[in-house]
Amino acid sequence: MDRPYVVTSLNQLLAIASPGREDIVDAVGVIGPCTVPDLARFLGRSRQALYYHVRALRDCGLLLETHQAGEGKKLTARYDLPGRPLSVRYDLSTERARRAVIALGRARLRGAARGFVRACSPGIATLDGPRRNLWVARWKGWLSDRELEEANRHLSRLIDLLQHHAGPAKGGRRAHEITFAIAPIVARLPSVEPVAKRRKRTVRRGSR
């Protein structure tokens, strides 16, 4: 059984927040140990476009590289995750770490938008009923501490449902992606002009 792997290194967080790289990590998590051509087929991208990013993920420890004999005597590189499930622990203790978390959040939301657009097809999407597979929604409301704990339990259960063993589709399984964001609402305060700047403008007006 795979051991969970938690990303805590800032370098790893910056690497996974780079555009397109978390798609690679997610793909390896779904299909299991694979080659770059396998990744290219799954992601619908060219092999040449993936090699640089795969090496960067390998060099920071987010992908593990092994070699095995392929056709003939040539060794083929295969890649796997350092553990499953792979998750990220957020760190907001420094400005650089905070920027990395924000970059990761933006990259994930952009990736979700791309996946939603690709799936908006009558032959792919199911729009209602118990097997609905295309849904985007946004809600705001009030949560007590107990209700927030309940919401987190539901989200954790949802993640658990996706944590099947990696590999090819079996038993009617199909690959799905789920992206969610939860955040406390922070009131937008009106911008206040610095006192020094207001004084400077007043002096200028008085000098005319």
Q: What is the pTM of this model?
A: 0.80
Calpha distance 97→87 (Å, rounded) = 16
Q: What is the pLDDT of residue 1?
A: 47
Q: What are the mean pLDDT values of the chain's consecutive 10-residue runs (208 residues total)?
A: 85 91 93 94 93 96 89 84 92 94 94 94 94 94 97 93 75 87 85 55 52
Radius of gyration of the chain (CA): 23
**What Cα–Cα distance (Å) separates residue 127 from each residue in 120, 121, 122, 154?**
10, 10, 9, 22
Structural domains of the chain, with CATH: 5-162 (1.10.10.10)
- Inter-CA distances, 64 with 25, 28, 51, 148, 166, Å: 11, 11, 14, 36, 15
